[in-house]
Amino acid sequence: GMAPFLVNHPILLHSWIVAREVALTRARDLTKASDDQLKGFDRLLDRAIRHCHEWQVDDEIQMQRIITLRAELTRLQAEIARTPLAR
């Protein structure tokens, strides 16, 4: 796994975590999205759903996780359609 790499590269791990936290903070600070941003999000969500449906693995545990992800993305898409983001 990645554990030995991460133990030997703490600065890189720190940078990854900081980048994630900064991105989350910026996303949460947004109060409204433009029409172009919303359309882009819709396109990317459609693409993610299609991509997840292409995944097939032999490992039962991992396949169950993929099935769960598919369901969660589909629920997200339905929720966004029901309650549009900043529209």
φ, ψ at 81 (rounded to 5°): -65, -35
Closest CA to 76 of 39, 26, 42: 42
Q: How many domains does the chain have?
A: 2
The C-alpha atoms of residue 85 and residue 87 are separated, in whole angstroms, by: 5
In which domain, by residue range, is 2 found?
1-30
* Whether residue 7 is found in the same domain as residue 41: no
Closest CA to 85 of 23, 25, 24, 27: 27
Q: What is the pLDDT of residue 85?
A: 67
Q: What is the pLDDT of residue 51?
A: 98
* Whether residue 1 is found in the same domain as residue 26: yes
* Whether residue 22 is found in the same domain as residue 52: no
| 38 burial via Cβ count (<10 Å: 0-12, 13-18, 19+) | middle
Q: What is the pLDDT of residue 46?
A: 97
Q: What is the pLDDT of residue 64?
A: 98
pLDDT in tens, the chain (87 residues): 888 998 999 999 999 999 999 999 998 998 888 889 889 999 999 999 999 999 999 999 999 999 999 999 999 999 988 887 654
* Whether residue 56 is found in the same domain as residue 18: no
* Whether residue 6 is found in the same domain as residue 37: no
pTM reported for the whole predicted model: 0.66
Sorted by sequence, the CB contacts under 8 Å of residue 28 that are 6+ apart come out as none
